[in-house]
Structure formats: structure tokens, C-alpha cells
Amino acid sequence: MMSAVACEHGIPTGLFDAMIIRESGYNPIATSTANAYGLAQLMPGTAVGLGVDRYDPLQNMRGGARYLRQQLDRFGQVHLALAAYNAGPGRVHGGMVPRITETQAYVSAIIANWSRLTSPARSPSPIYNRSAGYTKVAAMQRF
């Protein structure tokens, strides 16, 4: 089901699965301390904006896929779209992942999961180097 929803929204193979692993560990009733809920960990306002019931697992998944697609369309690169999904699009500037520890770990974990899901024989390589302010990311796939 996860792959079908990702395909509906034109999300690359394995990326949505990798994100859901990080977001909720496939737990449809996961709730964060920030009040994000469900498989895609949708915030109340985000769910309303997407027109989905975040308590319905399928709608939650579809809403998360649609929101990720919006970020991919807006930022054009996977690492930036993931950072926007996690920290909010207003925090992603100048082609860099914001220097927020949680967001940097989030992006790294999803890229590593995605690599494992799509090429199990390959070990993931580091995706960015830390620097002051924002984190500049090495060449990533553009959309």
C-alpha cells in the first residue's frame, strides 16, 4: 500500500517507505510530543490544509505523500524536501538543510534507509558535512 500511495504522488521508489520508517516505524497510531499523528506524523494544521483526516491511516498516508510531493516540487531536491517536511518549509533557505540537529539527523536517517531499501548491497555514504549556520549538502538527485 505504501508503494502505491508513493507512486500516486510520483515519489521515488523507496523514499516514502524510508520516510515512514523514520516518522512512525509503520505505527498508524504513533503520536509525537509535538502532537504529530499517524504513519506520516501529520500535524493538525498540515492535515487540515491537506484536507485529510489524520486519524484515518490511509488518509494520513496520502496526506503525507502529498505534502512530501509539494516539498519536492518546491525545493527540487530530496534532502531539502525532507528537511522542509521535518522542520517546515520556512526554515529551508539557500539550498541548505537548516542546522537543526533533529532535522539533520532526520534527513540523514531517511537517506540511509532509502539507500538500504533500494540497494541493499550498498552501504549508504554520508550526505553532508556540518558547517556553521546551515548545512551544505553534496550533490543530490534533483526533481
Q: Give the model's pLDDT for residue 141.
A: 47
Domain locations along the chain? 2-136
Q: Give the model's pLDDT for residue 13.
A: 84
**CATH code 3.30.390.50 for 2-136:** no
Catalytic residue, chosen from 23, 60, 79, 114, is 23
Q: Give the model's pLDDT for residue 1.
A: 82
Q: Give the model's pLDDT for residue 120.
A: 62
Q: Which residues of the chain have pLDDT under 70?
A: 120-143
Is residue 102 part of the annotated active site? The answer reads no
CA within 13 Å, CB half, 31: 5
Q: Give the model's pLDDT for residue 122.
A: 53
